[in-house]
Amino acid sequence: MGRRRPAVTDPRLDVDPDKAGQDLVGLVLTVVELLRQLMERQAVRRVEEGGLTDDQVERIGTTLMMLDQRMNELCEQHGLGREDLNLDLGPLGTLLPRD
C-alpha cells in the first residue's frame, strides 16, 4: 500500500526557509525579466516595421522604461542584481541571454 519514504538526512540538502524564499523570489523575478525582454524585443520589431503612430511609439518607449525601472526596484528590494536573474538550462545554456 502506501510506503513511506525515509526522511532525508543528507547534510548537503539546504532546507533553510529564508534561502528557499529568496530562491523563489529569484525564480519569479527571472520569469518576469524573461517576459520583459520578450516584450521589449517585440516592441522594437514593431517599431522597426513601421505602421505605428508617433504616439504609440512614445507610449511603448515609456512603458518599457517604466518596466525596466520597476525591475530594478524589485531586485533592489530583494537584494538581487539583474545579473542574479537567470536559470542554468544545462546543455541548452542559460534562460536569459547576456547582452
Does any domain span residue 98?
no
Say which residues have a Cβ less than 8 Å from residue 25's Cβ, sequence separation at least 6. 78, 80
What is the mean pLDDT of the segment spanning 1-16? 57
Does any domain span residue 40?
yes
**pLDDT score of 80 more than 70:** yes
* pTM tops 0.75: no
pLDDT band at 97 (very low <50, low <70, confident <90, very high): confident
Which DSSP symbol is given to 44? H
Does any domain span residue 11?
no
Does any domain span residue 99?
no
Quote the domain boundaries for residue 23: 18-80
pLDDT for residue 59: 95
Does any domain span residue 45?
yes
Does any domain span residue 90?
no
Tally of domains within the chain: 1
User: How far from 44 is each of 28, 37, 40, 98, CA to CA, in Å?
Assistant: 24, 11, 6, 18
Q: How many CA atoms lie within 13 A of 39 on its CB side?
A: 14
Does any domain span residue 26?
yes
Q: Give per-residue pLDDT as tens, 17-56.
A: 777 778 889 999 999 999 999 999 999 999 999 989 999 9
What is the mean pLDDT of the segment spanning 52-75? 94
Does any domain span residue 55?
yes
